[in-house]
Chains A and B, each alone.
Chain A
């Protein structure tokens, strides 16, 4: 029955589109179509997401009891290291830009493709090459340095697969750089006629800001990891204290990229949320220009704050004080966004579609993550809770509560565009709710644990922390199920879902003005843009006004 239903074609459903334009593995693996490349990324990062998730499951299982009874301490070190490396470099950083950005950017600006389609495909292969090295590191037994690779542990003491994993990250970084270059040139040079900067969707603004960070930050991580590998292999002692080298220099260089990298994860999610809030409130985003410039401001300010990771590392207290103040400045553009989203909701025609549930979840969770970030930027508090579960909870509220909520929200919102098919409404809302509940149950107890003094990166803990840890592990189970459900119904929907109309949400934006799924060259005729973005005011009201 569902099969017959899935073959029904709504009016205007295209016969030919990018999914059936060509068949066979070669047509996918050698494609230069940004939409197909987006799907290649979707498959790859989903695999890495569940790999990283598997490590998280083992971590939470170990922490369900105070004693170290599931894995050895050394194994535990490798688990949280691989969890961090896989989730950050192979899932979060490419997630929204490489999947949704790749798919949507040319559609949103009325272009036939990104500026450099072959480079775009190359970036996927570069990503996969980096991924293979990381998997290889896993087969070598993983590594135990934490995803931060701090020296001299990573150079002198660790005899695990640091070099292999480092090479993996070095390579994958270039995939991120190539994507960033491609997007910036695309946004500058490929916009449709009439599409001025202030008519761009906010998702495009946020992708632009993200790309700036990818280009200016990633190479510094690349050279840092390369120097680390050279120190391990060729004995060039750039960070070696025995030669007068300074391990804190490694931390400076590492966080020069890795703090802005947090904004590589959260800025695209913010862009997604702006789109969702506008569509499902049927209103123009309040203070459009402020939200747009806030993205750029976050990207720039993000480069000036890295020293707050070094408050207890031997950095000068004077530099620490400056970094503390600069870090708090990031709260200003972030708050601009949160307030403007809230103001957009005000008196809007709010509907509770699945993507909107993720958007609303994002606003709440990001606010908690952001405000605890201001707490941590305060040196006095940071020194107290440094390297405790408070930090772990804080950055998971940003990365999971923020970035993954945004990613899933975006995936649900644009899925009809991507697949030309719908997913089950009730099941998707159910999944959104249990992800929200599971997330909070996992990570809110960790704020309390950290505040009470439980340090991170230990495989055992005193008995009095068990209740909160069991809550966290139970939440992680719920969260894990929550993530499995969308994966299953998206996979089902891709082939058997009910076919949808061109614009099922009644949304504004160029991406909805072409067929769903779009033709290979995106538009039958390149559109000319004449109106502001998110122009949901009915035409007669406009004339009356």
Chain B
């Protein structure tokens, strides 16, 4: 019946972890990880968001229904991203890639 009250030390620990991850993501942004740099930045952001959801938003101690709603929300976001990108990522198969980036009326580099 009664609610679960987290000890203060849990909140402080999570806050410090979030600070640590913020420093980490800024540091990582200046390293050359090649193709991995975007996934690393995104991964750190997901880790931070997960900490906030689980601890600050108490999902760790919530009912299964709440967990389902959270999971469902993010799943639907992935549906929106995934299916939209499936269009954009397959358009080039028919067109030469240059057509996407090369403007037709290229006068050469005029300077402002």
| A touches B (Cβ under 8 A) | yes
**A residues adjacent to B (C-beta < 8 A):** 188, 216, 220, 248-249, 252-253, 256, 303-304, 306-307, 310, 315-319, 322
Q: Which residues of B contact A322 (CB under 8 A)?
A: 86
Q: Does B31 contact A (CB under 8 A)?
A: no
Given A188-B65, A216-B76, A303-B76, CB of A316 within 8 Å of CB of B83? no
CB distance from A202 to the nearest CB of B (A): 22
Q: Which residues of B contact A252 (CB under 8 A)?
A: 84, 87
A-B contact pairs, 26 of them (CB 8 A): A188-B65, A216-B72, A216-B73, A216-B76, A220-B80, A249-B84, A252-B84, A252-B87, A253-B84, A256-B84, A303-B76, A303-B79, A304-B79, A304-B83, A307-B87, A315-B87, A315-B91, A316-B88, A316-B90, A316-B94, A317-B90, A317-B94, A318-B86, A318-B93, A319-B83, A322-B86
CB distance from B102 to the nearest CB of A (A): 13
Choose one: A220, A303, A304, A316; the contact of B91 (CB below 8 Å): A316
Closest B residue by C-beta to A184: B69
Q: Which residues of B contact A216 (CB under 8 A)?
A: 72-73, 76
Asked whether, in the complex, the Cβ of A307 is within 8 Å of the Cβ of B83, the reply is yes
Q: Which residues of B contact A307 (CB under 8 A)?
A: 83, 87
Q: Which residues of A contact B84 (CB under 8 A)?
A: 249, 252-253, 256
CB distance from A327 to the nearest CB of B (A): 12
CB distance from B96 to the nearest CB of A (A): 14
Q: Which residues of B contact A253 (CB under 8 A)?
A: 84
Asked whether, in the complex, the Cβ of A316 is within 8 Å of the Cβ of B87, the reply is yes
Q: Which label, helix, strand, loop or mixed, suits the secondary structure of the A interface?
A: helix
Q: Which residues of A contact B76 (CB under 8 A)?
A: 216, 303
Taken together as a complex, chains A and B put the C-alpha atoms of A197 and B84 apart, in Å, by 35
1/0 per residue, CB under 8 A from A, across B84-106: the answer is 10111011011000000000000
**Contacts A316-B86, A316-B93, A318-B93 supplied; 11 other A-B pairs, CB < 8 Å:** A252-B84, A252-B87, A256-B84, A303-B76, A306-B83, A310-B87, A315-B91, A316-B87, A317-B90, A319-B83, A319-B86
Taken together as a complex, chains A and B put the C-alpha atoms of A188 and B65 apart, in Å, by 9
Taken together as a complex, chains A and B put the C-alpha atoms of A304 and B90 apart, in Å, by 17
Choose one: B65, B72, B90; the contact of A319 (CB below 8 Å): B90
Taken together as a complex, chains A and B put the C-alpha atoms of A249 and B87 apart, in Å, by 10
Taken together as a complex, chains A and B put the C-alpha atoms of A146 and B3 apart, in Å, by 51
CB distance from B79 to the nearest CB of A (A): 6
Closest B residue by C-beta to A248: B87
**B residues adjacent to A (C-beta < 8 A):** 65, 72-73, 76, 79-80, 83-84, 86-88, 90-91, 93-94
Closest B residue by C-beta to A310: B87
Taken together as a complex, chains A and B put the C-alpha atoms of A220 and B79 apart, in Å, by 12
CB distance from B16 to the nearest CB of A (A): 33
CB distance from B54 to the nearest CB of A (A): 22
Closest A residue by C-beta to B91: A316
Taken together as a complex, chains A and B put the C-alpha atoms of A316 and B93 apart, in Å, by 9
Closest A residue by C-beta to B63: A188
CB distance from A214 to the nearest CB of B (A): 13
Taken together as a complex, chains A and B put the C-alpha atoms of A252 and B83 apart, in Å, by 9
Q: Which residues of A contact B83 (CB under 8 A)?
A: 304, 306-307, 319
CB distance from A22 to the nearest CB of B (A): 36
Closest A residue by C-beta to B92: A316
Q: Which residues of A contact B94 (CB under 8 A)?
A: 316-317
Taken together as a complex, chains A and B put the C-alpha atoms of A216 and B70 apart, in Å, by 12
CB distance from A362 to the nearest CB of B (A): 30
Q: Which residues of A contact B72 (CB under 8 A)?
A: 216
Please provide the 4 A-B residue pairs with the shortest distance between their CB atoms, ordered closest to farther.
A319-B87, A318-B90, A316-B90, A316-B91
Taken together as a complex, chains A and B put the C-alpha atoms of A361 and B89 apart, in Å, by 44
Taken together as a complex, chains A and B put the C-alpha atoms of A252 and B87 apart, in Å, by 9
Taken together as a complex, chains A and B put the C-alpha atoms of A216 and B83 apart, in Å, by 15
CB distance from A318 to the nearest CB of B (A): 4
CB distance from B100 to the nearest CB of A (A): 10
CB distance from B106 to the nearest CB of A (A): 15
| Interface-centre pick from B65, B80, B87 (highest chain A CB count, 10 A) | B87
Taken together as a complex, chains A and B put the C-alpha atoms of A188 and B91 apart, in Å, by 43
CB distance from A227 to the nearest CB of B (A): 14
Taken together as a complex, chains A and B put the C-alpha atoms of A304 and B65 apart, in Å, by 23
Taken together as a complex, chains A and B put the C-alpha atoms of A315 and B95 apart, in Å, by 12
CB distance from B57 to the nearest CB of A (A): 17
Closest B residue by C-beta to A249: B84
CB distance from A189 to the nearest CB of B (A): 9
Choose one: A188, A256, A316, A317; the contact of B80 (CB below 8 Å): A256
Taken together as a complex, chains A and B put the C-alpha atoms of A248 and B76 apart, in Å, by 20
Taken together as a complex, chains A and B put the C-alpha atoms of A310 and B90 apart, in Å, by 14
Q: Which residues of B contact A304 (CB under 8 A)?
A: 79, 83
Taken together as a complex, chains A and B put the C-alpha atoms of A518 and B71 apart, in Å, by 39
Q: Which residues of A contact B73 (CB under 8 A)?
A: 216
Q: Which residues of B contact A315 (CB under 8 A)?
A: 87, 91
CB distance from B77 to the nearest CB of A (A): 9
Closest B residue by C-beta to A246: B88
Closest A residue by C-beta to B75: A216
CB distance from A39 to the nearest CB of B (A): 31
CB distance from A145 to the nearest CB of B (A): 22
CB distance from B40 to the nearest CB of A (A): 27
Taken together as a complex, chains A and B put the C-alpha atoms of A316 and B92 apart, in Å, by 8
Closest A residue by C-beta to B84: A252
Q: Which residues of A contact B90 (CB under 8 A)?
A: 316-319
Q: Which residues of A contact B86 (CB under 8 A)?
A: 316, 318-319, 322
